[in-house]
Amino acid sequence: MLTLSRELLDRVIAHARADHPDEACGVIAGKAGSDQPARFVAMTNAERSPTFYRFDSMEQLRVWREMDDRDEEPVVIYHSHTATEAYPSRTDISYAMEPEAHYLLVSTREPDDTEVRSFRILDGDVTEEQVRVTDGTGGMIET
Amino acid sequence: MAIEVRIPTILRTFTAGAKSVEGSGDTLEALLADLDSRHAGLRDRLVDDAGLRRFVNVYLNDEDVRFLGGLSATVKDGDTVTVLPAVAGGMR
């Protein structure tokens, strides 16, 4: 299960909407081993494409070092699909290289309704998990 | 002195869990060959017949080695090489 605050989820969705029709991507960092997403980091989609995303390599180095210095890890790796459902594509699965991360997918294909789903991707196997959204004070507002 | 090579989580199976290992060589290619002699299989995850794998990022100090000649990039003692899997995907 992925648990994150409404504020963080809203920032992911806002980024996905802002970059639509291109795919948006980024991470939410959290203390290593905590499994708690805490720090939102929007990343540049170096491909600037409606069908593909890739973190800019130099930005990734900077952000990964910053996480290392702060004893953080990428708890959530998010990206948007702008014309298809929020489910990992074959490409997503083959390039998923962070076994500890929650892969959060956001679909912006419907203008008024944003589908959000979360997955673990390990050695080509996809497991969907529940997304629990909290109000930021420990209270749960929806699942 | 040696060259420090920082290893991402997914490749630490090749380094007995170590976050970084040390190696030597004059070029990235020689360094990877040296590493592979102690961490068999690591090189194959970074390199294919065409050179550096497309979805692996290798940095020499603060620069992406693709801008420094790829496998023929010159390395020296005291350098740090960082390996990060690219984060990528797409709708298809």
Can you tell me the ipTM of this complex?
0.90
Torsion angles phi and psi, residue A87, rounded to 5: -135, 140
Written as six digits, the tokens of A132 are: 């629990």
Amino acid at A137: T
Distance CA B39, CA B20 (A): 12
Kindly report the pTM of this predicted structure.
0.91
pLDDT over 70, % of chain B: 99
pLDDT over 90, % of chain A: 90
Q: Is the dihedral of CA B75, B76, B80, B83 positive or negative?
A: positive
The answer to whether residue B92 sits within a structural domain is: no
Written as six digits, the tokens of A88 are: 């990992």
A–B CB contacts, 8 A cutoff, strictly below: 81
Query: What pLDDT score was predicted for residue A135?
Result: 86
CB contact under 8 A, B87 and A55: yes
Distance CA A101, CA A119 (A): 9
Distance from CA of B6 to the nearest CA of A (A): 11
Q: For chain B, how many structural domains are there in total?
A: 1
CB contact under 8 A, B89 and A60: no
Beta strand pairing call for A72-81 and A52-54 = unpaired
Reply yes or no on whether the pLDDT at B89 is more than 70: yes
Amino acid at A3: T
Reply yes or no on whether the pLDDT at A33 is more than 70: yes
Distance CA B33, CA B40 (A): 9
> What is the CATH T-level fold of the domain A2-142, as seen in this structure?
Cytidine Deaminase; domain 2 (3.40.140)
Reply yes or no on whether the pLDDT at A90 is more than 60: yes
The domain of B39 spans: 3-85
Query: What pLDDT score was predicted for residue B1?
Result: 66
Cα A123 to its chain centre, rounded Å, is: 19
The answer to whether residue B76 sits within a structural domain is: yes
Per residue in A54-74, pLDDT (tens digit) is 999 999 999 999 999 999 999
Q: For residue A14, what is the enclosing H or E element? A: helix A6-19
Q: What CATH number did the domain enclosing B66 receive?
A: 3.10.20.30
Say whether residue B59 is in contact with chain A using an 8 A CB cutoff: yes
Q: Which of A23, A45, A48, A61 to mutate to test the interface with B (most CBs of B within 10 A)?
A: A61
Say whether residue B67 is in contact with chain A using an 8 A CB cutoff: no
Choose among B9, B62, B90: nearest Cβ to A91: B90
Beta strands in A1-139 (DSSP E): 2-5, 25-31, 39-43, 52-54, 72-81, 102-110, 113-122, 125-129, 131-134
Interface of B with A in 13-42 (CB under 8 A): none
Query: What pLDDT score was predicted for residue B91?
Result: 76
The answer to whether residue B90 sits within a structural domain is: no
